Amino acid sequence: MTPGIRPLIAGNWKMNGLSADLGELAAMGEGAFGGAEGLICVPATLLSRASDALAGSKLRLGGEDCHGAASGAHTGDVSAEMLADAGASHVLVGHSERRTDHGESDAVVADKAKAAWRAGLTAVICIGETKEEREGGKTLSVLSSQIPGSVPAEATAANTVVAYEPVWAIGTGLTPTVEDITEAHRHIRTELKTLLGDEADKMRLLYGGSVKPGNATELLSIENVDGALVGGASLKAVDFLAIAAACPS
């Protein structure tokens, strides 16, 4: 954790969730997030009904991706404005599954971050190295390249969150060591400082990749880890709330 930064516990439902799962979302909305802020990113198809299910709750809602344009001839895409209209306050951009499945480059991700801001959304910009890059000793150089490529220079602590997700840790049950996460997050903070100046000191840096109730206390106590981006364990209210409860107060 970083002193003075309110942690963010963010969930990402990915391509999961039907109307039958809205009850799970409502249960999360009724839960306690302590000193942390809670966010759950759901498929665009659920956003509007999720917004209704969470009426009166402090749990925020996010989209999982957006197009760079506000509207137009982009069949199947969803704009940041549409997400905001459906009740989102945040949107994930540059998740590794988007980068891999849809060939999104750093430039595309930066464009999406700007689109999020245009719509009044906070952009959660995801970065992280692959298994091959990790094994090749390239983790820090990959981050050094992804940060100025994906994070526009106009980013502020209010409009942007950066999520570090080693691709090889996503959905695998594997996590980097505490030392490796410490090194990566320290490096990310330093690179952001080069790009954004003092604003970087206030920016939330999330760790993502196999965060579970059983490892959340350790992961969330690491220097410069200001919250978590949680995939599989965000599908069940009991698990997601247990992770939130692990935030140091």
Ligand X SMILES: O=C[C@H](O)COP(=O)(O)O
The site for ligand X (CB under 6 A) is made up of: 12, 95, 165, 170-171, 208-211, 229-233
User: Cα separation of 32 and 242, whole Å?
Assistant: 9
Residue 196 or 229 with smaller CB distance to ligand X: 229
Could you give the angle at which helices 178-196 and 139-150 cross, rounded to 10 degrees?
A: 30
- Residue 153 Cβ vs ligand X, minimum distance, rounded to whole Å: 25
Q: Which residue has the tokens 């990915």?
A: 14
- Residue 72 Cβ vs ligand X, minimum distance, rounded to whole Å: 28
Q: Which of 234, 163, 228 is nearest to 192 (CA)?
A: 163
List of residues 6+ apart from 87 with CB closer than 8 A: 47, 48, 50, 51, 54, 61
Catalytic residue among 165, 185, 187, 191, which? 165
- Residue 108 Cβ vs ligand X, minimum distance, rounded to whole Å: 18
Q: Which residues belong to the annotated binding site?
A: 12-14, 171, 210, 231-232
User: Cα separation of 166 and 138, whole Å?
Assistant: 12
Q: What is the Cβ-side half-sphere exposure of residue 191, based on CA atoms within 13 angstroms?
A: 23
Residue 89 or 190 with smaller CB distance to ligand X: 89
Residue 95 or 99 with smaller CB distance to ligand X: 95
Q: Which of 238, 237, 216 is nearest to 54 (CA)?
A: 237
- Residue 39 Cβ vs ligand X, minimum distance, rounded to whole Å: 11
Residue 54 or 233 with smaller CB distance to ligand X: 233
Is position 37 annotated as part of the catalytic site?
A: no
What amino acid occupies position 14? K
Residue 11 or 87 with smaller CB distance to ligand X: 11
Which DSSP string do the residues of 233-249 spell out, in sequence order?
GGSSHHHHHHHHHTS--
Catalytic residue among 95, 97, 133, 187, which? 95
Is position 179 annotated as part of the catalytic site?
A: no
What amino acid occupies position 41? C
- Residue 216 Cβ vs ligand X, minimum distance, rounded to whole Å: 11
Q: Which residue is nearest to ligand X (CB)?
A: 231
User: Cα separation of 64 and 13, whole Å?
Assistant: 8
Q: Which residues belong to the annotated binding site for substrate?
A: 12-14, 171, 210, 231-232
Report, as residue numbers or ranges, the catalytic residues. 95, 165
